[in-house]
A and B are shown apart, each in its own frame.
Chain A
Amino acid sequence: MTNAVIKTMEVCRYFGEGETLVKAVEQVSITIEPGEFTAIIGPSGSGKSTLLHLVGGLDNPTSGVVELSGTNIANMSGAQISDFRRDHIGFVFQAYNLIPVLSAEENIEYIMLLQGIAGPARRQRVQEMLELVGLNDLGSRRPNQLSGGQQQRVAVARAMASHPDIILADEPTANLDSKTGIALLDVMKDLNETHNMTFVFSTHDEKIMSRASRLIHMEDGAVVHDERR
């Protein structure tokens, strides 16, 4: 028995066929334990994003098994996988991807609305999340009234709001300047340490890599090095 948050077994993801076949992910078997702060690193085209898509249930593997919190997510219906993502996975996107017509508070609240949490409880948790990411006073602002770093903090707060088992972040600091990127990573690291939240993120940034407790190095779709610190 394992209590792994993520477990992939010989996962492959191919695109195209014949001469145009691209092996984006090839025979990847990894296990992510609760509380890990894992960075997936590698050059562009190494399969980092595709692997995150697969473990986030946004894409289906060509072969192999992806288990999230002990559940095989293959063969789930559209509604089932949506519910699963809603309840078990938090996403932080490179381009923030907040809903532009909703305020920071409402962006965070939306996912809890999907979970069926009552209004007062939702609003209380929104304030808690904003406090965690240090944006208490900016909740009523819309994304276009926030800086990139602030938007990404809101995205982290949104990802945390549903009490997920894991937060997946694809190049979360790529659109931020170095200082803001490190500040965001500090927030994530703090959440990891104080709330035992599991983070898996992809990055190119050496400074960010240095803060990870585990580095998974990918090349040509395969894991070439897996180092716990």
Chain B
Amino acid sequence: MLLLKLAFRNILRQRRRTILTVLSMTGGYVLCCLSFSLTDGSYKNVIRIFTMDHTGHIQIHRDDYLQRPKVFKGIDDTPEQRQQIHSQPGVQSIAPRVFTPALAYAGTRNTPVQIVGVDPALEKTTSRLFDKVTQGQYFDATLNADGYYSAMLGIGVAESLRINIGDELILISQGADGSIANDIYIVTAIVGTRNSWDRNKVYLPLSVAQEFLSFYGKVHQYSLLLEDENAVGRITQSLATALPTLTVNPWMQVEATFYNSMEADKRGNRFTLLIIVFIVFIGVLNTVLMSVLERTREFGVLKAIGSRPATIAGLILIETMMLASMSLLVGVVIAAPIIAWFALRGIALPDPIDMGGIEFGFMTGEFSVGVFAWPMLLIMAFAIVVSIPPGIRAARVSPTRAMGSF
């Protein structure tokens, strides 16, 4: 307690210098918190939209379908199978899908497309497909009055073929049994924008796509949405255990390139922050060193009367940690309302960013323990590091040299 008192009184000796040092550390901390909040908030948004747009949080395939997709690599899509997956704790919804490349015709025009067969009702609960309908109406698996099934087109397909709602679309592909698959559909909706990832896709109701591909009772993929996106790893593990014959992948593996580039960007941001904090702490180091040099005689006295070198170094560490703690206290008081505002309101972007056909008009922040705790750890770690050189210097003070004589 006396050592703490001594340290506290020491940092109050030069109050103006202490205030300036505390403010500089506070600035560094607030900046870190803001950066963490905006980075985490933005990426959380991106991940939420990205996973809801097409990957889901977890995907289940047969064998190596993810790496080498073949139309015949299907999963038996039984009610029991779906129930087993859906009943796993943390799984919010499940969407079965089939995929195949095809050639699309309309009039004299044609274009390569990818057919995606989705369950209209389940897909609504798992992805944003329903929200992405820009023209027409979201489809269902019923025949129209003329005996045609519905198809929804990415805008790229509609523009290539110059067709619109109500027009006929001819699809030709190869069935899972090797037969020629071809049929006529009526366009009921256009989805997404020119920037959408699915601009060249044709959506069919799942049962229609299965019939088209002669792929009865099978799907290529189950896409799962989880209640908590942070539980991806744990639930992937439990699903992999529960479904030993299938391949379970988290979205980070499904879209490894996207995930890795996002992580690299995050690391870049963190590194920039480290440099900023490092610069702040060079100033702090200077302050602590000055304080040690000014008190050389006192350290000599403390050593002469029996303080161990480690006790002297510990005193410097305590003083630096006290400065850091004061900064963090002030920093939390300043940062909390700012970050809360960013989380609740966000910054309106002058030019909205289009991401996968979804526009971001606001940059929002994340308000979580981590946003405050990680920068705290960073500041504390730097505080410990910068207390080492002055601490060693103070600990090595020779009492006779420090005091001249007694």
Complex CA distance for A83 and B310, rounded to whole angstroms: 12
Q: Which residue of A lies closest to B306 (CB)?
A: A86
A201 to chain B, nearest CB (A): 10
Q: Are A52 and B406 in contact (CB under 8 A)?
A: yes
| Minimum distance in angstroms from B33 CB to a CB of chain A | 33
Which of the candidate stretches B195-203, B239-247, B295-303 sits at the interface with the other chain? B295-303
Which residues of chain A have C-beta atoms less than 8 A from B303's C-beta?
Answer: 82
Cβ proximity bits A61-87 to B, threshold 8 Å, 1 near / 0 not: 000000000000000001100110111
- Most chain A beta carbons < 10 A, residue from B2, B297, B308, B405: B405
Bound Cα distance from A97 to B400, whole angstroms = 13
State which of B6-14, B86-94, B98-106, B137-145 sits at the interface with chain A.
B6-14
Residue contact A97 to B301, C-beta cutoff 8 Å: yes
* B interface: dominant SS: helix
CA distance A170 to B311 in the complex (A): 25
Inter-chain residue pair count (beta carbon < 8 A): 85
Q: Which listed residue (B5, B308, B406) contacts A94, Cβ 8 A?
A: B406
B residues 291-341 with Cβ under 8 Å of A?
297-298, 301-311
Tell whether, in the assembled complex, residue B403 and residue A97 are in contact, meaning their CB atoms are under 8 Å apart: yes
- For residue A93, CB closer than 8 A to chain B, the reply is yes
CB distance from A132 to the nearest CB of B (A): 18
Bound together, the chains give a CA A109 to CA B400 distance in angstroms of: 23
Residues on the A chain within 8 Å of B3, using CB: 113
Q: Which residues of B contact A169 (CB under 8 A)?
A: 406
A109 to B297, CA, bound (A): 20
A58 within 8 A of B: yes
Are B305 and A49 within 8 A (Cβ)?
no
- State whether A111 touches B406 (Cβ < 8 A): no
Query: How long is the Cα–Cα vector from A134 to B1 in the complex, in angstroms?
Result: 27
- Chain B residues within 8 Å of A, Cβ to Cβ: 1-3, 5-6, 9-10, 12-13, 297-298, 301-311, 399-400, 403, 405-406
Are the CB atoms of B2 and A82 closer together than 8 Å? no
Centre residue among B304, B306, B311 by max chain A CB count within 10 A: B306
Evaluate whether A86 and B305 lie within 8 angstroms (CB atoms) in the complex, with A79-B310, A109-B2, A113-B3 already known: yes
**A82 and B309 in contact, given A101-B9, A101-B13, A106-B5 (Cβ under 8 angstroms):** yes
Indicate if the CB atoms of A102 and B301 lie closer than 8 Å. no
Closest B residue to A89 by beta carbon equals B306
Residues of A within 8 A of B5 (CB): 102, 106
User: Bound state CA distance, A92 and B304, in angstroms?
Assistant: 10
8 Å CB contact of B297 from A92, A94, A97: A97
- The answer to the question of A110 belonging to the interface, with a C-beta cut-off of 8 Å to chain B, is yes
> What CA separation (Å) do A97 and B295 show in the bound complex?
12
Give the contacting residue for A93; candidates B6, B301, B309, B310; CB below 8 A. Answer: B301
Nearest neighbor of A87 in chain B, beta-carbon distance:
B306
B305 adjacent to A158 (CB under 8 Å): yes
B326 to chain A, nearest CB (A): 17
Shortest Cβ distance from B297 into A: residue: A97
Minimum Cβ distance to chain B for residue A214 (Å): 20
